[in-house]
A and B are shown apart, each in its own frame.
Chain A
Amino acid sequence: MARILLVEDNEMNRDMLSRRLERKGFEVKMAVDGRQGVEMARAGGYDLILMDMSLPEIDGWEATRQLREAPETKTVPIIALTAHAMAGDRDRALEVGCNDYDTKPIELTRLLGKIEALLGGKTGT
Chain B
Amino acid sequence: MLERALSLLGVTGGELATYDESHKDLVIVSSHNLETNAVGTRMALGEGAMGRVAQTKQPLIIPRYQDWEGHSSKYERTTIQSVMAAPLLIGSRLVGAIASVHADNTREFGPEDLRLLQLFAPQAAVAIENARLYAAAQQHFELLVRNNPVAFVNLDLEHNITSCNPAFERLYGYSEAEVIGRNLDELVTSKETLADARAKTERAEMSGGAFSGTGRRCRKDGSVVDVEIFTIPVTVAGERVGMMALYHDVSELLAARREAEEANETKSRFLASTSHELRTPLNAIIGYSEMLQEQAEEEGHTGYLADLGKIHSAGRHLLSVINDILDLSKIEAGKMELFLETFELRTVVDDVATTVRPLVAQHDNKLEVRASPDLGTMHADVTRLRQVLLNLLSNASKFTEHGVITLAVERAGDEMVFRVRDTGIGMSQEQMGRLFEAFAQAEASTASKYGGTGLGLAISRKFCRMMGGDVTVDSVPGQGSTFTVRLPSAAAPAAEQTSWPAAAGGGAHAGLVLVVDDDPGMRNLLGRFLSREGFRVETAADGAAGLRRARELHPDVITLDVLMPELDGWSVLTALKSEPGLADIPVVMLTVVDDKPMGFALGVSEYLTKPIDRKRLAAVLGKFTSAGVGAEGKNGRSVLLVEDDAATSKQLQRALEKQGWNVATAANGRIALERVAERLPSLILLDLMMPEMDGFEFLEELRQRPDASGIPVVVITAKDLTAEDRQRLNGGVARVVNKRGRGPEALLADVRSMIAGRASAR
Q: Which residues of A contact B (CB under 8 A)?
A: 10, 12-13, 16-17, 19-20, 23, 83-85, 87-88, 91, 104-106, 108
Known contacts A16-B291, A23-B295, A87-B381: does B338 contact A105 (CB below 8 Å)?
A: no
Across the interface, B338 reaches (CB within 8 A) one of A10, A23, A87, namely A87
6 further A-B pairs in the complex, CB-CB below 8 A; given A85-B383, A105-B282: A12-B283, A12-B287, A12-B288, A16-B287, A83-B276, A106-B287
A13 proximity list for chain B (CB < 8 A): 283-284, 287
**A19–B291 contact, CB under 8 A?**
yes
**B290–A108 contact, CB under 8 A?**
yes
**Subset of 24 A-B contacts with CB under 8 Å:** A10-B280, A13-B283, A13-B284, A13-B287, A16-B284, A16-B287, A16-B288, A16-B291, A19-B291, A23-B294, A23-B295, A23-B298, A84-B275, A84-B279, A85-B383, A87-B337, A87-B338, A87-B339, A87-B381, A91-B341, A105-B282, A105-B287, A106-B287, A108-B290
Closest to B323 in A: A84
Closest to B336 in A: A87
Which of A10, A12, A13 has the most chain B CB atoms inside 10 A of its CB?
A12
Q: What's the Cα separation between A84 and B282 when bound, in Å?
A: 13
Minimum Cβ distance to chain A for residue B285 (Å): 9
B288 proximity list for chain A (CB < 8 A): 12, 16
Q: What's the Cα separation between A29 and B275 when bound, in Å?
A: 29
Closest to A110 in B: B355
Minimum Cβ distance to chain A for residue B356 (Å): 14
A12 proximity list for chain B (CB < 8 A): 283-284, 287-288
Closest to A24 in B: B294
**A105–B319 contact, CB under 8 A?**
yes
Across the interface, A104 reaches (CB within 8 A) one of B283, B337, B381, namely B283
Closest to B275 in A: A84
**B286–A105 contact, CB under 8 A?**
yes
Minimum Cβ distance to chain B for residue A117 (Å): 14
Q: What's the Cα separation between A105 and B290 when bound, in Å?
A: 11
**B339–A105 contact, CB under 8 A?**
no
- How many chain B residues touch A (CB < 8 A): the figure is 22
Across the interface, A20 reaches (CB within 8 A) one of B286, B291, B341, namely B291
Minimum Cβ distance to chain A for residue B361 (Å): 16
Q: Which of B272-308 contact A (CB under 8 A)?
A: 275-276, 279-280, 282-284, 286-288, 290-291, 294-295, 298
**B286–A88 contact, CB under 8 A?**
no
Q: Which of B306-338 contact A (CB under 8 A)?
A: 319, 337-338
A105 proximity list for chain B (CB < 8 A): 279, 282-283, 286-287, 319
Minimum Cβ distance to chain B for residue A67 (Å): 25
Minimum Cβ distance to chain B for residue A40 (Å): 23
Q: What's the Cα separation between A83 and B281 when bound, in Å?
A: 12
Minimum Cβ distance to chain A for residue B386 (Å): 10
A17 proximity list for chain B (CB < 8 A): 287
Q: What's the Cα separation between A83 and B291 when bound, in Å?
A: 19
Q: What's the Cα separation between A17 and B283 when bound, in Å?
A: 11
Closest to B283 in A: A105
B295 proximity list for chain A (CB < 8 A): 23
Q: Which residues of B contact A (CB under 8 A)?
A: 275-276, 279-280, 282-284, 286-288, 290-291, 294-295, 298, 319, 337-339, 341, 381, 383
Q: What's the Cα separation between A83 and B278 when bound, in Å?
A: 12
Q: What's the Cα separation between A121 and B534 when bound, in Å?
A: 63
A16 proximity list for chain B (CB < 8 A): 284, 287-288, 291
B337 proximity list for chain A (CB < 8 A): 87
Which of A10, A12, A87, A108 has the most chain B CB atoms inside 10 A of its CB?
A87
Q: What's the Cα separation between A13 and B279 when bound, in Å?
A: 12
Closest to A88 in B: B339
**B383–A87 contact, CB under 8 A?**
yes
Q: What's the Cα separation between A105 and B298 when bound, in Å?
A: 22
Closest to B386 in A: A85
B298 proximity list for chain A (CB < 8 A): 23
Q: What's the Cα separation between A81 and B341 when bound, in Å?
A: 21
**A83–B383 contact, CB under 8 A?**
no
Q: What's the Cα separation between A102 and B341 when bound, in Å?
A: 18
What 4 A-B pairs are tightest by C-beta distance, nearest first? Answer: A87-B339, A16-B287, A12-B284, A105-B283
Q: What's the Cα separation between A20 and B289 when bound, in Å?
A: 12
Known contacts A87-B337, A87-B339, A105-B319: does B283 contact A20 (CB below 8 Å)?
A: no
Minimum Cβ distance to chain B for residue A22 (Å): 11
Q: What's the Cα separation between A50 and B455 when bound, in Å?
A: 34
Minimum Cβ distance to chain A for residue B173 (Å): 53
Which of A83, A84, A91, A105 has the most chain B CB atoms inside 10 A of its CB?
A105
Minimum Cβ distance to chain B for residue A90 (Å): 9
Q: What's the Cα separation between A17 and B286 when bound, in Å?
A: 12
Minimum Cβ distance to chain A for residue B273 (Å): 12
A10 proximity list for chain B (CB < 8 A): 280, 283
B291 proximity list for chain A (CB < 8 A): 16, 19-20
Minimum Cβ distance to chain A for residue B268 (Å): 15
Closest to A85 in B: B383
Across the interface, B279 reaches (CB within 8 A) one of A23, A83, A88, A106, namely A83
Q: What's the Cα separation between A19 and B284 when bound, in Å?
A: 13
Q: What's the Cα separation between A81 and B746 when bound, in Å?
A: 68
**A20–B294 contact, CB under 8 A?**
yes
Q: What's the Cα separation between A84 and B291 when bound, in Å?
A: 21
A85 proximity list for chain B (CB < 8 A): 383
Minimum Cβ distance to chain A for residue B383 (Å): 6
Minimum Cβ distance to chain A for residue B660 (Å): 49
B294 proximity list for chain A (CB < 8 A): 20, 23, 108
Q: What's the Cα separation between A42 and B339 when bound, in Å?
A: 35
A20 proximity list for chain B (CB < 8 A): 287, 291, 294
Minimum Cβ distance to chain A for residue B732 (Å): 72
Q: What's the Cα separation between A20 and B298 when bound, in Å?
A: 12
Q: What's the Cα separation between A16 and B287 when bound, in Å?
A: 7
Closest to B281 in A: A12
Closest to A86 in B: B339
Q: What's the Cα separation between A85 and B390 when bound, in Å?
A: 15
Which of B282, B290, B295 has the most chain A CB atoms inside 10 A of its CB?
B290
Minimum Cβ distance to chain B for residue A31 (Å): 19
Closest to A103 in B: B383
B279 proximity list for chain A (CB < 8 A): 83-84, 105
B284 proximity list for chain A (CB < 8 A): 12-13, 16
Q: What's the Cα separation between A53 and B552 when bound, in Å?
A: 40
Minimum Cβ distance to chain A for residue B547 (Å): 27
Minimum Cβ distance to chain B for residue A100 (Å): 15
B280 proximity list for chain A (CB < 8 A): 10
Closest to B337 in A: A87
A87 proximity list for chain B (CB < 8 A): 337-339, 381, 383
Minimum Cβ distance to chain B for residue A125 (Å): 13
Q: What's the Cα separation between A20 and B293 when bound, in Å?
A: 11
Closest to B288 in A: A16
Q: What's the Cα separation between A85 and B275 when bound, in Å?
A: 13
Q: What's the Cα separation between A19 and B298 when bound, in Å?
A: 14
Minimum Cβ distance to chain A for residue B217 (Å): 46
Q: What's the Cα separation between A10 and B339 when bound, in Å?
A: 29
Q: What's the Cα separation between A87 and B381 when bound, in Å?
A: 9
